[in-house]
A and B are shown apart, each in its own frame.
Chain A
């Protein structure tokens, strides 16, 4: 069966996660994505790893292989006028161009919306920028930790007992993934609009705003109650906490009173659980120091997976603090076929996360491994009626 986005022609320009994840989402649903990288060095993700055996190699970065499977790859020097002409030629025949070139450098890379749209009125161009394309901070730069902080999420995470420790980012490149998800949504929205208007559009995505838009209930504390949400504030409801078992960590999660009652039963109805101090979830929040010590003493004797199973059997939503090894071994994820293994010519067999959703009529599918640097340059340029050999002699590809 064909993918949902079969026939959609997409170009991608950008480093690391934002643009690459946006187009990965489309490629995995059948779109024909051509990734444009700078000659010789390629996408910065190629240098980030993880690498097999810990040895850096341009073709074996795990991050790159994950983000760019199902795409074709070409090299093109967009800083040169001839490279920009080639980009314009490719864009003339594309449905969508997603890029994450900094706003101050877009013009120097041939990313001129008015010109591209004049040549192809059906084109959708999506620009991802750390602070958007307009406003007083549009020229500001960001990396992952900066974007996560600018969007307000770092300030929410820390240890209330340790005000000396800084606001903490989440693992990995989460601001990049949030930007990529939003860019995919904006792009698909504009492509849907094109069905009735016949015209493309310019979508801009601000990574700072993508992060700010997932602050849960914390943002509203200011406009509703004049309160600053802080990483140092105690949780009002408990237990919602990490506990160390004899063989790992578990997340103890009792939001509703009935969940707490069943957890108390599970612990064998200890006398302390009947104390006034722990009478309801707010009281348990106020007296969390005492509760934590008592829970920790009991949990230290338990096994993570037995406690997880026992709690779930009582409909209490505990969760293990999964390690990567736990995920790869999880029978549920195996039964759903979540992890997939793809053979890559240089990296060999690589196992990675697979379909994040199952579409019944148009399956998510992994077809080809991530491209080696410039692997499809000749093929893609020939399709566009261009002479790759001549461009190579000019040093443009």
Chain B
């Protein structure tokens, strides 16, 4: 019988929006019991954002955004502004192996749920704070929203078309990058705890995790004193390298030629084998020097066929290539379907909608999307009874006092 790797690990999840939920999603995929602490008095932003099923009124349980990044978790509602709620939260933390939060710096401390308090309740707890700027330093109080990390980290300054303004990258990239780093740190801390019995506090700054993935740019500055220019899809060590127009309405195919031998195969495929030895294109240095002409030649060929056909022909010649996939392309990708990456579990409000699953597999460990995202507060009674130790009468009193909203 396959066993989830994190079977028996409980996570009290005080996060919201994307970075924190993306962190705890990884733990849910690994089989941890992740309990999201939410409140109807201030809904998670992603419960309010689209997409919602076409032709329906938006509800907090119907957002495709929330439902993607909260798969396999439980949800309780608890109004943390109420003193009685804080006692519930403390009991939850005392019964949890991991506590995750991404409030602004100091908020958990002010609520009486800081690491010093939680450690007294449960000495081996692993607690992580994922904040925009980190828990210490002169900017620790600054406010950060997901999309702001891309410019703040320096990524925007080096992303964009040549000669054009700085750009975004299409998603709030600092959020998942911060969340994934957080999951690594938590797992390392859990392994350490298993060996030593000791928990700890982890301070994660999304600004820093966003810079951690930009070493080429940082080191070009520290080694050469040069800010790398924005250069579109080009690569200093690879040419041609880019996303080229294919046949169809706004359809594109990405490809990259890594060495001279691959260029010779590409030239043959393009029906122009003489280009392999053409002095303008025979070496990487020559191809970089004549890159505009090179890209025009490639585009002429790609524009005559759909991206899927170009991909199949290029890959058959051993050349890395793929459609610049849209969400529709991914949802209909037979490869992703065959691998079980696309999952559609029955959700009580939106039915079976396709979501993206776990990007890794284990041979023996049971890693998967175990359940759809929870409806708001769906597990409040269960968690209060089984995890926090309240009986039915106590739960009824808390509910009557408007604590469980």
Q: Report A-chain residues with C-beta under 8 Å of the C-beta of B245.
A: 166
Q: Which residue of B lies closest to A315 (CB)?
A: B143
Residue of A nearest to B149 (CB): A319
Which A residues from 174 to 216 make CB contacts under 8 A with B? Answer: 174, 177-178, 181-186, 188-193, 195-197, 199, 201-206, 208-210, 212-216
A-B contact pairs, 27 of them (CB 8 A): A63-B215, A132-B361, A134-B339, A135-B335, A135-B338, A141-B315, A141-B320, A142-B322, A166-B242, A166-B244, A189-B365, A197-B364, A205-B360, A212-B359, A214-B22, A222-B354, A223-B354, A224-B50, A242-B151, A242-B168, A312-B143, A321-B156, A321-B166, A324-B222, A325-B227, A332-B138, A357-B181
- Known: A212-B341, A356-B209. Contact between A218 and B327, CB under 8 A? yes
Would A359 and B188 count as touching, CB distance under 8 A? Answer: yes
Q: Are B254 and A231 in contact (CB under 8 A)?
A: no
> CB < 8 Å: which of A192, A213, A227 contacts B191?
A192
Find out whether the CB atom of A228 lies under 8 angstroms from the CB atom of B200: no
Q: Is A73 interfacial (CB-CB < 8 Å)?
A: no
B19 to chain A: closest CB distance in Å?
A: 11
Is the beta-carbon distance between A155 and B252 smaller than 8 angstroms?
Answer: yes
CB-based contact B54/A225 at 8 Å: yes
**A359→B200 contact, CB < 8 A:** yes
B331 close to A181 (CB less than 8 A) = no
Contact status of A168 and B208, CB under 8 A, knowing A182-B359, A190-B5, A209-B341: no
Partner of A170, one of B169, B209, B243, B355: B169
Contacts A63-B219, A217-B51, A231-B170: A181 and B184 contacting too (C-beta < 8 A)?
yes
A325: which of B167, B204, B214, B221 is its contact (CB, 8 Å)?
A: B221
Contacts of A356 in B (CB 8 A): 181, 204-205, 208-209, 212
CB <8 Å contact, B241 and A145: yes
B398 to chain A, nearest CB (A): 31
A188 touching B151, Cβ below 8 Å: no
Question: Quick one: closest A residue to B68, CB to CB?
Answer: A220
- A186→B187 CA distance, assembly (Å): 10
Interface residues of A in 351-379 (CB under 8 A from B): 351-353, 355-362
> Within 8 Å of chain A (Cβ to Cβ): is B220?
yes
A157 touches B233 (CB 8 A): no
Q: Is B70's CB within 8 Å of the partner chain A?
A: no
B196-229 interface (Cβ within 8 A of A) = 198-205, 207-209, 211-224, 227-228
A36 interface residue (CB < 8 Å to B)? no
Within 69-93 of A, Cβ neighbours of B (below 8 Å) are at none
CB of B152 within 8 A of chain A?
yes
Neighbouring B residues of A226 by C-beta, 8 Å? 54
Q: Does any Cβ of A come within 8 Å of B271's Cβ?
A: no
B274 in contact (CB, < 8 A): no
What 0/1 readout, one digit per residue, does chain B (131-150) give for beta carbons within 8 Å of chain A?
A: 00110111110111101111
What's the minimum C-beta distance from B43 to chain A, rounded to whole angstroms?
14
Contact A223 B5 (CB under 8 A): no
Is A301's CB within 8 Å of the partner chain B?
Answer: no
Given the known inter-chain contacts A191-B191, A317-B148, A357-B202, please indicate yes or no for A336 contacting B134, CB distance below 8 A.
yes
**Shortest distance between the CB of A161 and any CB in chain B (Å):** 11
Report how far A191 CA is from B189 CA in the complex, Å.
12
A143: min CB distance to chain B, Å: 4
Task: State A328–B154 Cα separation when bound (angstroms).
Answer: 11
How far does the alpha carbon of A315 sit from the alpha carbon of B138 in the complex, in Å? 15
Q: Are B359 and A213 in contact (CB under 8 A)?
A: yes
Query: Which residues of A sit under 8 angstroms from B227, Cβ to Cβ?
Result: 323-325
Q: Which residues of A contact B51 (CB under 8 A)?
A: 217, 220-221, 224-225, 227
Does chain A have a CB within 8 A of B182?
yes
Chain A proximity mask over B293-326: 1 for CB below 8 Å, otherwise 0: 0000000000000000001000100111111111
Chain B residue contacts of A52, Cβ below 8 A: 223-224
Cα-based distance from A190 to B220 in the complex (angstroms) = 36
Known: A193-B5, A206-B359, A230-B326. A171 touches B151 (CB 8 A): no
How does the 8 Å CB contact mask read for A135-177 relative to B, with 1 for contact and 0 for none? 1111111111111111111111101000101111111111001
B153-189 to A contact mask, C-beta < 8 Å, 1/0: 1111111110011111111110111001111110111
Q: For B138, what are the chain A residues with a Cβ–Cβ distance below 8 Å? A: 331-332, 335
Complex-state Cα separation, A169 to B242, whole angstroms: 9
Residue in chain B with minimal CB distance to A154: B324
B256 beta carbon closer than 8 Å to chain A? yes
The contact of B64 among A142, A157, A210, A224, by CB within 8 Å, is: A224
Is there contact, CB below 8 Å, between B243 and A353? no
Residues of A contacting B405 with CB < 8 Å?
none
Asked if B404 is an interface residue, CB under 8 A from chain A, the answer is: no
Residues of chain A lying within 8 A (CB to CB) of residue B60 = none
Tell whether A184 pairs with B184 under 8 Å between CB atoms, given A47-B237, A350-B219: yes
B232-290, CB < 8 A from A: 232-233, 235-238, 241-245, 250, 252-256, 258
Known: A51-B224, A135-B336. 15 other contacts (CB 8 A): A132-B339, A140-B315, A149-B323, A155-B326, A156-B170, A181-B181, A193-B365, A203-B360, A214-B176, A216-B18, A217-B64, A228-B326, A327-B154, A357-B202, A362-B192
Are B191 and A150 touching (Cβ within 8 A)?
A: no
Complex contact B215–A353 (CB within 8 A): yes
What residues on A are CB-neighbors of B235 within 8 Å? 143-145
B334 close to A202 (CB less than 8 A): no
- Known: A189-B5, A190-B365, A220-B355. Is A63-B324 also a contact (CB below 8 A)? no
* Cα A315 to Cα B218 with chains together (Å): 29
Do B154 and A212 touch across chains, with their CB atoms under 8 A apart?
no
Q: From the candidates A251, A351, A362, name the one contacting B156 in the complex (CB within 8 A).
A: A251
**A217 neighbours in B (Cβ, 8 Å):** 46, 49-51, 63-65, 68
Cβ B216 vs Cβ A168 within 8 A: no
Known contacts A135-B339, A141-B320, A186-B360; A317/B144 CB under 8 A: yes
Interfacial chain B residues near A142, Cβ < 8 Å? 320, 322
Find A223's partner among B173, B319, B353 (CB 8 Å cutoff): B353
Which of A102-150 touch B at CB < 8 Å? Answer: 113, 130-132, 134-150
Chain A, Cβ-Cβ closest to B161 = A165
Chain A CB within 8 A of B67 CB: yes
- A289 contacts the other chain (CB 8 A): no
Partner of A168, one of B137, B167, B360: B167
For B221, the chain A residues whose CB sits under 8 A away are 324-325, 327-328
A361, closest chain B residue (CB)? B200
Look across to chain B and name the residue whose beta carbon is closest to the beta carbon of A149.
Answer: B254
A168 contacts B232, C-beta separation under 8 Å: yes
Report B2 CB to chain A, min CB distance, Å: 10
* B3 contacts partner chain A, Cβ-Cβ < 8 Å: yes
What distance in Å separates the Cβ of B47 from its nearest Cβ neighbour in chain A?
A: 12
Instruction: Answer yes or no: B120 CB below 8 A from chain A CBs.
Output: no
- Given known pairs A4-B189, A223-B64, A317-B143, the reply for A146 and B254 (CB within 8 Å) is yes
B396 at the interface (CB under 8 A from A): no
